[in-house]
A and B are shown apart, each in its own frame.
Chain A
Amino acid sequence: MGDLRRAMALVRKDLLTERRSKAAFNAMAFFAAMVLFIFSFALGPDAPSMSAGPGQTLLQYLWPGLLWVAIFFTGILSLSRSFQIEIESGGLEALRLYPGDKKAVFAGKLVANLIVLGAMELILIPVSAILYNIDLWTKLPALMGVVLMGTLGFAAVGTFYAALTSNLRARDVMLPVLLFPIIVPVVVAAVKATTLVIRGDPMGELWTWLRILGLIDIVLLTVCTLTFEFAIED
């Protein structure tokens, strides 16, 4: 019970800090907008897709992959910031000093990161859908489920590595270098599941990919939770 209260206190503290500074969210919103526009310019807003059906543009065809690239790139900023605020105040040391299980610290940081990432996704998904003219409104509940599962795996590993790299001078470089190779399975499963939600699932593969994504989430969550104490050691 005490550890649950500690985790909730961390969530509240991180969200209050973010709400007042808006440091991570403003950077994420700006970066997400840039990513969406760069994709649009790079791939051409009206370029036809050779792989998809008639009337579909390349951007629409690639949207599931582009969405996850935008989520992962943008999310790095939030994950990095979540431990930056601890370093600035010496708070990471304090988190080591407080009594209780350090799994509560991981849980608190993870939930706070999930909420910030979720808020960013709530803006990113509809804006990108409007920008690329994607009809996702009827598929929104299924899409939200896939996004939640993909974000959970990403945030779990991201929170772990953000803590691990927080004491490094080159933390801004090291976080993506360490994180991206580990989340490749999440990327593959999340993009595949999103594609099946958006384009339809005639072969009934979606459930399989959701189970794979769920299994990856469980493995990543378990490993990161059990080893987090070592990640915040000096």
Chain B
Amino acid sequence: MAENAKAPGAARERTDTTALVVEARQVSKRYARTWALRAVDLRVGRGELVSLLGPNGSGKSTLLRLLTAVTRPTYGEVRIFGQQPRNGLGVRERFGVLPHQSYLYDELTAVENLRFAATMYGMRAERDQLVEALAHVGLVHVADRQARTFSSGMRKRLALARATLHDPELVLLDEPYGALDVEGIGWVDRFIGELREAGKTLVIATHEIGRALALCDRAVALRGGKAVYDGPTSDYEGAISGATEAVGLGVKI
């Protein structure tokens, strides 16, 4: 499924790396005495699919949180669409986020969760539009059920519907495959494929290296808060195994 989602060659033609959507310059983040991220650079062009790879604690989620400005970098600078994500005019409407947590309210129904998000994004969403968004993620039959009754797969679908409800140009996904079964993983692959076909720019933080390499144009590997690889997914395996063997680790990131 992952292989099908990627259209080799076509995506690269759509990718316009001269128009930078994401630009992180030498960003570092320290929590108390621990450096979660150290001097990481990241540039993502329009239409690119970039995966952030690395083990737990490598700094993937921290980097995503810095890109969305939910937290500030200790050092360095982040720009989204050429503007500061926190204060830039009209920037926040242009990106959507699937976070580690769902941003869903358990007591609200699926439709109510989407209506709240739509209103917060400044949209005037009618019920028909919200139901249509739910139909797109296969949840129309549970539109009026409270989110607390959803399985983790259904929650993931609803969270993805919430993240893309306002048709953002940039979509940031943090562990989109987390807590999903095989069917759910396949569904997420298809959803990412659709976003890709729609010309969205995607940054995906994941442990699923195989899927990320199959889906994305570029991989950025992080370890201990540092970027140890930034290049095409096709060169990733060789570069990383060479690097880890060189330092005697012999483990994949």
Contact = CB atoms under 8 A, between A and B. Distances in A.
The answer to whether A binds B is yes
Interface of A: 2, 5-6, 9, 12-13, 16-17, 20-21, 85, 88-91, 93-100, 233-234
B225 interface: no
Contacts of B69: 96-97
A12 B115 CA distance: 11
Nearest to A5: B119
Contacts of B115: 9
Closest 4 A/B residue pairs (Cβ): A90-B101, A9-B119, A99-B92, A234-B71
B103 A93 contact: yes
B111 to A, nearest CB: 12
Nearest to A108: B120
A93 B70 contact: yes
A194 B67 CA distance: 51
Main secondary structure of the interface of B (DSSP, over half): loop
**Interface residue SS majority, chain A:** helix
B83 interface: no
9 contacts: A16-B108, A16-B112, A20-B146, A21-B107, A85-B105, A93-B103, A97-B68, A97-B92, A99-B120
Nearest to A95: B120
Contacts of B106: 88-89
B92 A16 contact: no
B97 interface: yes
A6 B104 contact: no
A175 B151 CA distance: 34
B121 A89 contact: no
B92 to A, nearest CB: 4
Contact of B72 (A17, A21, A233): A233
B119 A6 contact: yes
